[in-house]
Structure 1
Amino acid sequence: MADFTFHHGGVSVPNLDDAIDWYERVLGFTLEKRFYIEAARSHTAMVRKGPLRFEIFEVEGAAPLPEDRRHVPRDVQTHGNKHVAFRVDNLDEFLTEMKQKGADIAFVVRESFGKGCFLRDCAGNLIEFVEESGV
């Protein structure tokens, strides 16, 4: 079997500068590089936090995020890619920090199988954060 590792996740946004600022200010990513993808007509940035990378696209003429994609229970009712998830050590501490930063907390899960939350970035894209249990 071929060996591979995770490289990056990606999101499309209406304003690249606003998104770079949001990912830096709220989640602590730093700008790695900016570039233009001619075939996609996309002003693009790669942001990084340690080994994690996130690619952000501002595509000319792109349609806005459909309302159903902004809500976790409705989003999973449509086939396709859903979100990227990151691990946090302590969900409650993470949520406190995100509230202090004014993040849009879309959904919090506290179930017997685990706990986590979803944030909406500045464009409404869902990002999950999970506290792993000892199970």
Structure 2
Amino acid sequence: MTARFDHAGISVPDLEAAVRWYREALHLTEEHTFAVPGTDLRGVMLRHYSGYRVELLHRPNAAAGPTPDGPVQAAGTLGYGHLCLAVDTPGEVDTEFARLVAAGAGIRMSPRPSPRTGARMAFVSDPYGNLLELIDRAA
């Protein structure tokens, strides 16, 4: 099989507010919107200039899931744990962490060395509790 990563789908309670936050915080552009016929499911596909996508999904009566305090707690629940974004410039984890927190992201793990030798990482959460990791593998 030849495959490459395309996108991550995240269910959100307020589609329009989530689109605004992800567009502004992660510099994504709206690729397309959709609704699934015969259901109440709507979504928006957002794209980063580097190629990755985030699909925001909304169903009006969706049940809230667990909102972990950080990556260790997230690993205690099977399923989605976090979305990881690699930074391009050494030292950028700290800068992007501060920028995302200023944009309304929750602090989940301040910038620090990663358990992976030579890497630096941090975790924030979007306004809905979904974890986002920042990593610099060349730190």
Q: What TM-score, normalized to structure 2?
A: 0.83
Q: 2:46 matched to 1:64?
A: no
The alpha carbon displacement at 1:38 in A equals 3.3
Which residues of structure 2 form unaligned runs of 5+? Answer: none
Structure 2 CA distance for aligned equivalents of residues 118 and 59 of structure 1: 27
- Contact kept in structure 2, 1:86 and 1:129, CA below 8 Å: yes
Structure 1 CA distance for aligned equivalents of residues 21 and 76 of structure 2: 28
The alpha carbon displacement at 1:40 in A equals 5.5
In the other structure, the counterpart of 2:46 is 47
The alpha carbon displacement at 1:87 in A equals 0.2
SS at match of 1:38: coil
Structure 1 CA distance for aligned equivalents of residues 137 and 18 of structure 2: 28
Find 2:108's aligned residue among 106, 109, 123.
Answer: 106
Structure 2 CA distance for aligned equivalents of residues 40 and 74 of structure 1: 33
In the other structure, the counterpart of 1:126 is 131
Could you tell me the percent identity over the aligned residues? 27
The alpha carbon displacement at 1:4 in A equals 0.8
Which one has the bigger strand percentage? 1
Structure 2 CA distance for aligned equivalents of residues 92 and 125 of structure 1: 19
In the other structure, the counterpart of 2:24 is 25
In the other structure, the counterpart of 1:80 is 79
The alpha carbon displacement at 1:42 in A equals 1.1
In the other structure, the counterpart of 2:11 is 12
RMSD of aligned C-alpha atoms?
1.9
Describe the shift of the 1:34–1:70 C-alpha distance in structure 2 as closer, same or farther (beyond 3 A): farther
Q: What TM-score, normalized to structure 1?
A: 0.85
Which residues of structure 1 form unaligned runs of 5+? Answer: none
Which one has the bigger helix percentage? 1
How many residue pairs get aligned? The number is: 132
